[in-house]
Amino acid sequence: MSTTHPTRAPHDVRLAASLPPTPAPLLRVRGLSVSYTPPRKGTHLGTGAALRDADLEVRPGEIVGIVGETGSGKTTLARATVGLVAPAAGEIEFAGEDIGGLRRRARRAFRRSGQVQLVFQDPLRSLDPDLTVTELVREPLDIAGTLSRAERGQRVAESLRLVGLDPEAVADRRPRQLSGGQRQRVSLARAISTRPRLLFCDEPVSALDVSNRNLILNLLDQLRTELDLAVVIIAHDLSSLAGIADRVAVFYRGRIVEQGPIRAVLEEPAHPYTALLTASAPTIALGHEDRLTPDRLRPDPDRPAWPADLGCVFAHRCPFAHDACAEQPRSAPLPHAPQRQSACHDAVVWRERLDPPHPQKESA
Amino acid sequence: MASPRERTLAVTDLQVSVGDGLVAVQDVSFEIGRGESVGLVGESGSGKTLTCRAALGLLPTTGRVDGGRIVLGEGPQAVELVGARRSTWDGVRAGRIGAVFQDPASYLNPSLTVGHQLAEQLRVKRGLRRRAAHDRAVELFAEVGLHDPAAVFHQYPHQLSGGMLQRVLIAIAISCEPELLIADEATTALDVVIQAEILALLRRLRETHALSLLLVTHDLAVVAESCERVLVMYGGQIVESGPTAQVLGDPQHPYTRALMAVATIGDWGRRRLDVIPGQPPAAGEEMPGCRFAPRCPVASAACTAGPVPVTDLGGGRTTRCVRSILDEAVPA
């Protein structure tokens, strides 16, 4: 199948474009912590901190992938960035402006301006079933209130065309009358109608099958070039992300444990959790005996249990945890690759402490 | 397709329609041997879910089996499931087929503890007393890899993560010692670490319980590591089948190739994402020949000249492509 997108530039050109001189970041998050309701005793409800001490930068025209398990703080970061939740600590700077510290009215005005937009996982649940496609795509423009009626109409048609839908064919349909892939395109058209500078996509492809998944991801890639968008994609499919993102940030239990250029991070993880992720990803490349298997990255079952809240967030599942891990490591640049960061005391050396493979032992 | 093992499930010429007689599954035949794992792969709308729902007797209200046979077991134990009575189904579902689905939370009662829901199965279906059902439930929770199973017994669904809930559902599904476990997109909603753990659990249960597994998924990569044989479905038909390693190593149908190109290959260095152009045919859409022809990169006039039969390639492999009949290699 030779079906790459025609507008996609060869990768070396894009690599060169994403290397220095680096433009000023569009989004700069520093030391961000977000807390929901404090834990209630005995109910297991409310975990307190949802995001702790997160640092992340997104530059214009860049695609940043975010991976991590449920409840690791991915969505919380998105919600804080679009102004849906107020941070407990830290700074969020968008285009040089501090938006984390905005007061209520100013925060609402920022949200309504549509400079940052959010796309959700399940378009069937996030799109109002009673509205037509035209109404859905026009709504953010009505809220922003900066364009005239005629301009809004034009913008809707233009946005639909940008996501590859024929405005005349779909204008009067409702979400139920569209296929899954078409619905997600409508979500995208809705998100880009205000011409945002940053798009936050929260699991945009998890509800789609593989072919549609790649279609939507390619579309995001095309939009970032055509509209000079910065895109953050939250996803759990590492391989699809590898085909599109420039950088990746790995979340675990409210912390960013590793980040850097996607290929380097996935091919040679500097954090044991990232290694567990890549080792667990299914593959059709059979016969890779040298591939790290998940069971080599799990702690010895006979090891005394690590206290759940002590030190490093990953220590309780980390086979390499030792005394130093009782203190949460700070995210620090790797000595040999300063554009990468890892929050692991042993970022460089854990690999040397891997046990030899034992193929027949497999724990579930 | 003859399997040397004892047969657990034999589906022959199955035809399923939905709505107003729209044919959604046609001409589907396959077998699953005892302890064998078979993957059923295809895009949304390929008919894979309808096929497995037909084997569970759980078709949507508008769905109907129009023809074919679905036989569970062999010899005196054999049961014909097409047109089976309610009482037959009760017996089959109580002890011979188990199933797990994509969204575990929606299959559990949110107001009862998960232990209660498993123990209830054991009391109703296995006739165990309360105490014995509790003990067996804790054993089963331990077997599916839940830590501290005695504590999990007393927890409600909202207190458990998606991966743990899926383990609970697997425990419920295997509690009746079924011959066949059907997993319909059971790992799709989970993150990769949990997905790998659940797939490893299914592999282990298959070995320890001589369980046959039908794994339904849209992701070929999931099948690659967990299934001995694979069935590729497209537009309501099986277009290719055979031992997984051979099908993936040397796919004979262009659709299988297309699926491999879009699947989650473990290549972190790739900088392009393939797509399959066009849309799959809708249920009931009449097509003169190969149903994949409009999207096929190597289609020719012969593809749409008439119905394309299944070709037996030997070694347990089949394909439904005119090139195999004409003995032409499929261009890469």
What is the rounded distance in angstroms from the CA atom of residue A331 to the CA atom of residue B139? 42
Residues of A in contact with B140 (CB under 8 A): none
Instruction: Tell me whether residues B192 and A238 touch, CB distance under 8 A.
Output: yes
CB B277 within 8 A of CB A3: yes
The pLDDT score that the predictor gives to residue A357 is 65
Residues of A in contact with B273 (CB under 8 A): 4, 214, 217-218, 240, 243-244
Which amino acid is residue A174, in one-letter code? R
Of A201, A209, A193, A260, give the one whose Cα is nearest residue A233.
A201
The pLDDT score that the predictor gives to residue B273 is 82
- Between A236, A277, A283, which is nearest B265 by CB? A283
Residue A310 maps to a domain: no
- Between A69, A242, A286, which is nearest B268 by CB? A242
Q: Domain residues for A138?
A: 25-39+47-263
| CATH number of residue A236's parent domain | 3.40.50.300
Of A268, A266, A296, A271, give the one whose Cα is nearest residue A281.
A266
Residue A118 maps to a domain: yes
B161 at A interface, C-beta within 8 A:
yes
Q: Categorize the per-residue pLDDT at A13 as very low, low, confident or very high, splitting at 50, 70 and 90.
A: very low
Instruction: Tell me whether residues A282 and B225 touch, CB distance under 8 A.
Output: yes
Q: How far is CA B54 from the centre of its chain?
A: 11
What is the rounded distance in angstroms from the CA atom of residue A355 to the CA atom of residue A357? 6
SS3 annotation, chain B? CCCCCCEEEEEEEEEEEECCCEEEEEEEEEEEECCCEEEEECCCCCCHHHHHHHHHCCCCCCCEEEEEEEEECCHHHCEECCCCCHHHHHHHHHHCEEEECCCHHHHCCCCCCHHHHHHHHHHHHHCCCHHHHHHHHHHHHHHCCCCCHHHHCCCCHHHCCHHHHHHHHHHHHHCCCCCEEEEECCCCCCCHHHHHHHHHHHHHHHHHHCCEEEEEECCHHHHHHHCCEEEEEECCEEEEEEEHHHHHHCCCCHHHHHHHHHCCCCCCCCCCCCCCCCCCCCCCCCCCCCCCHHHCCCCCHHHHCCCCCCEEEECCEEECCHHHHCCCCCCC
Residue A105 maps to a domain: yes
Q: Categorize the per-residue pLDDT at A46 as very low, low, confident or very high, splitting at 50, 70 and 90.
A: very low
Contacts of the segment A167-175: beta carbons below 8 A, 24+ positions apart: A167/A134, A170/A133, A171/A132, A171/A133, A171/A134, A172/A132, A172/A133, A172/A134, A173/A132, A173/A133, A174/A129, A174/A130, A174/A131, A174/A132, A174/A133, A175/A123, A175/A124, A175/A127, A175/A128, A175/A129, A175/A136
Instruction: Tell me whether residues B262 and A236 touch, CB distance under 8 A.
Output: no
Instruction: Tell me whether residues B275 and A215 touch, CB distance under 8 A.
Output: yes
Residues of B in contact with A206 (CB under 8 A): 189
For chain A, what percentages of helix, strand and coil (3-state, to nearest 5) are there?
35, 20, 45
- Looking at chain B, which residue has its C-alpha nearest residue A211? B275
Bigger pLDDT: A181 vs A117: A117
Residue A229 maps to a domain: yes
Report the residue count for chain A. Answer: 364
Signed CA dihedral, A229, A233, A239, A240: sign only: negative
Read off the pLDDT of residues A138-169 as tens digits, 9 standing for 90 and up: 999 999 988 999 999 999 999 999 999 999 99
The pLDDT score that the predictor gives to residue B287 is 87
Residues of B in contact with A184 (CB under 8 A): none
The pLDDT score that the predictor gives to residue A119 is 92
- Between A14, A210, A278, which is nearest B263 by CB? A210
- Between A69, A263, A364, which is nearest B145 by CB? A364
The pLDDT score that the predictor gives to residue A161 is 95
Instruction: Tell me whether residues B266 and A267 touch, CB distance under 8 A.
Output: no
**Residue B4 reports pLDDT greater than 70:** no
Residues of A in contact with B196 (CB under 8 A): 279-282, 294
Instruction: Tell me whether residues B197 and A242 touch, CB distance under 8 A.
Output: no
Read off the pLDDT of residues B231-250 as tens digits, 9 standing for 90 and up: 999 999 999 999 999 999 89
Residue A190 maps to a domain: yes
B13 at A interface, C-beta within 8 A:
no
Read off the pLDDT of residues A193-216 as tens digits, 9 standing for 90 and up: 999 999 999 988 887 887 888 889
ipTM of the complex: 0.84
Residues of A in contact with B222 (CB under 8 A): 282
Read off the pLDDT of residues B106-145 as tens digits, 9 standing for 90 and up: 899 999 999 999 999 999 888 999 999 999 999 999 999 9
Q: Smallest CA–CA separation between B89 and chain A, in Å?
A: 32
B81 at A interface, C-beta within 8 A:
no
**Residue A287 reports pLDDT greater than 60:** no
Residue A163 maps to a domain: yes
Of A102, A80, A82, A66, give the one whose Cα is nearest residue A30.
A80
- Between B248, B262, B268, which is nearest A211 by CB? B262
Q: Categorize the per-residue pLDDT at A276 as very low, low, confident or very high, splitting at 50, 70 and 90.
A: very high
Residues of B in contact with A291 (CB under 8 A): 266
As given in the structure block, the two tokens for residue A27 are 């989004």
Read off the pLDDT of residues B189-200 as tens digits, 9 standing for 90 and up: 888 888 999 999
As given in the structure block, the two tokens for residue A112 are 């309504």
Instruction: Tell me whether residues B192 and A236 touch, CB distance under 8 A.
Output: yes
As given in the structure block, the two tokens for residue B306 are 């008439």
Q: Categorize the per-residue pLDDT at A288 as very low, low, confident or very high, splitting at 50, 70 and 90.
A: low
B213 at A interface, C-beta within 8 A:
no
How many domains are contained in chain A? 1
Signed CA dihedral, B108, B109, B113, B117: sign only: negative
Rounded to a whole number of angstroms, the CA Rg of chain B reads 21
Residue A171 maps to a domain: yes
**Residue A38 reports pLDDT greater than 80:** no
The pLDDT score that the predictor gives to residue A212 is 84
B279 at A interface, C-beta within 8 A:
yes
Residue A128 maps to a domain: yes
As given in the structure block, the two tokens for residue B183 are 């997993």
Read off the pLDDT of residues A230-265 as tens digits, 9 standing for 90 and up: 999 998 878 778 888 999 999 999 999 999 999 999
